[in-house]
Amino acid sequence: MRFFVLLILLLPISASAQNVPKLVPDVSQRQINIQSGFTGAEMLLFGAIIYPRGVAPEGQVDVAVVLRGPMRSVTLREKQKIAGIWVNADSTDFRSVPAYYAIASSRPLNQIVNSKTAAIYELGLDRLQLSPSGEVNATEQRRFVDGLVDLNRRNGLFRQEAGTVEITDQVLYRARLNIPSSVPVGVYTAETLLIRDGRVIVADDNVEVRIRKTGFEQLVTILAQDYALLYGAMAVLVSLLLGWFAGFVFNRL
């Protein structure tokens, strides 16, 4: 008897799950190699929306895609001009700042999701949860957060683009995101969100993208990180040799 009661209770849940669309996302490159002369790259995020019974619902659906870099801790310092000299003044620590964050959507975010949904899924630069620490009042904290976001935006590491996700027949979607030359290395996550009637009905973040250095740049990175003493000694030696060679050349002229 209990089995039949449990089965009846689960039937609505199963029926509801079967009515939820599925996303089949992918990216144009699973790995980006940074070499000498790297000027940036363009990432294509695309995929398909699979509807139950193959029938798209009536009404408009929206798609947002997010490419997010590895999380890191950041200390932001504010400079002030005192007696004609720029010095470090106040500072704030942030515990979870993405090294790169780019979001593209089929329409402006404020038209497809409400503020609560945007905050839950961190949709938009003004909704990033950067986890500032320290005893700073809310006004000062907001000022530092805005400053950090603006700094990364000007460096091309934070991007927000509305109306750049193309949806064909409510089934196929694609978006292009520019990756700057200053992008940090690491593992990135590409997330696709299907939105309808102001709600995120599907969120898929199973696609990973690796950005790494290769060639001479990779060698320098390995030496600097894993063999710091050897790297420092080599840097000093190279500097001395270059100085000696420059002096030798000028003495001959």
42 or 17: which leads in pLDDT: 42
> What backbone phi and psi angles, to 5 degrees, belong to 26?
-160, 170
CATH superfamily, with its number, for domain 22-213: Macroglobulin (MG2) domain (2.60.40.1930)
pLDDT at position 2 = 44
Q: Is 69 exposed, middle or buried (0-12, 13-18, 19+ CB in 10 A)?
A: buried
- pTM > 0.85: no
Task: Give me the residue spans of the domains in the chain.
Answer: 22-213, 215-247
Q: Is 107 exposed, middle or buried (0-12, 13-18, 19+ CB in 10 A)?
A: middle
**Rounded distance between C-alpha atoms, residue 66 and residue 180, angstroms:** 16
Query: Residue written as tokens 């945007």?
Result: 118
**pLDDT tens-place string over residues 135-158:** 667 788 888 899 999 999 999 999
Torsion sign across C-alpha atoms 199, 172, 153, 90: positive
